[in-house]
Amino acid sequence: MPSYEEDLSEFERRNAQVLGISVDQAFSNEAWAKSMGGLSYPLLSDNWPYGYVCVQYGVLRGEGRAERAIFVVDQQGIIRYIDVHDIAEQPPTDKIMEALDKLR
């Protein structure tokens, strides 16, 4: 997650809002973000009912954590790009930017 902070101007240039989502509670996300010096985008808690949004997006893992996954949604609410990534890796930002470029 932290790496998107560096790319924030690139997202802004493409009129894109970054939303981080995990099953953590809001206080955990806030403390984590604070430990990194803060983030310019919100972290959302898919915690009640637990993992409900993750299930709807098909990214809840067996052990109850979210996959590392990216969904680019356009202004009409349509999914334009999906990347479900190996949990240890960060999805490639250049591919995300390419997907956003097509929306402009």
Partner 1 sequence: MAQPSRPVWRLKVGEEAPDFELIATGEQAGKGGPRNKIRLSDYRGKKNVMLAFYPAAFTPV
Q: Which residues, other chains included, contact 8 with Cβ-Cβ below 8 Å and sequence gap of 6+?
A: 18, 40, 41
Q: Determine which residue in the list 9, 37, 49, 94 makes contact with partner 1, applying CB under 8 A.
A: 37
Residues 54-93 that bind partner 1 (CB under 8 A): 54-59, 61, 65-82, 87, 90-91
User: Distance (Å, rounded) from C-alpha 91 to C-alpha 78?
Assistant: 20
Closest CA to 69 of 91, 84, 90, 53: 84
Closest approach of partner 1 to the CB of residue 9, in Å: 14
* Binding-residue total with partner 1 (CB under 8 A): 71
| C-alpha–C-alpha distance, residues 44 and 19, integer Å | 7
Residues 2-21 that bind partner 1 (CB under 8 A): 2-4, 11, 14-21
Q: Between 37 and 94, name the residue whose CB sits nearer to partner 1.
A: 37
